[in-house]
Amino acid sequence: MVRYKLLGPSGLRVSEVALGTMTFGEDWGWGASNEESRRIFDRFADAGGNFVDTSNNYTNGTAERFVGEFIAAERDHFVVATKYSLTERRDDPNAGGNHRKNMMRSIEGSLRRLGTDHVDLLWLRMWDATTPVDEVLRAFDDLVRAGKVLYVGMSDTPAWVVAQAVTTTALRGWTAPVAVQAPWSLADRGVEREVRDRVQAPFHVEIVGDVVALQPEAWLPHEMADVVPVSGEEVVQAEHLPALRQQPLAQVGPQESRSTADQDPSHAAPTPGRAAGGHEGGAADL
């Protein structure tokens, strides 16, 4: 069964493996039907998974509608993460980007499709290099204060922007990001260098397949996690994870874990990385 851990510096408990839903829906000419998506979701939930990752533009919104349907009976049990930033209308210059107008428009659409009054985690999907950081952070904070979003995070965003965001929110008393998503593959390991060498605040780095979830945890030393290759089958078969663990890519300093399961003395050795987010950077969205 799935184990749980805290999402970054928050108190939110999420399953070690998140279920990504970019392939929920056939609108793009490929992907899973409603029936197949439901089968995937049920296997994930039956294994103990509670962390579901989607986006406002996955399969033109179909993924969010499917997720909303699947979680309806037990909405409060699941931790639902969605994203905003990528355009939904190519003829509208404000239908994409990180700015406040698009954020507010996107979250309202996501809430309707998901059939809920809030999302547990809202990701900024991709840094647009245009919107002021303060504008994004204040809009995030407004959504949290309004109860439409509980936590916020940043995906595909340069480390220096994330560091600026964390510093700014601490200074102004705004809601701070609790997690960061970034792409990773054997062909592109740049995130290792950026996080390890460029970010001043310590980060907990977790790698699964082509996904890296970076969770700011100020009490942890700099560290790099093990690689855990996960195929579509193992995504919902979390009990297979121990057999899939590989040797570390790099180990910088001692590694600790806040997972309650790791309090067992048998876990005193460095703990391999665990999934904490989904990303559509590779063939399969986790």
Q: Contact, 176 vs 217, CB < 8 A?
A: no
Q: Contact, 139 vs 106, CB < 8 A?
A: no
Tell the burial category of 186 from Cβ atoms under 10 Å away from its Cβ (0-12, 13-18, 19+). exposed
- Provide the CA 151 distance to its chain's centre, in angstroms: 11
Alpha helices in 20-59 (DSSP H): 34-46
Strand partners, 83: 123
Cα separation, 14 vs 82, whole angstroms: 15
Tokens of 232: 């579509």
Tell the burial category of 258 from Cβ atoms under 10 Å away from its Cβ (0-12, 13-18, 19+). middle
- H or E element in which residue 205 lies: strand 203-208
CA torsion 154-48-76-207 (nearest 10°) is 0
Q: State yes or no: is 84 an active-site residue.
A: no
**Nearest residue to 99 via CA among 127, 131, 128:** 131
The residue written with tokens 């979680």 in the block is: 71
**Nearest residue to 233 via CA among 44, 21, 74:** 44
The residue written with tokens 């996904």 in the block is: 211
**Nearest residue to 79 via CA among 13, 5, 137:** 13
Tokens of 112: 């309707």
Active site (catalytic) residues = 58
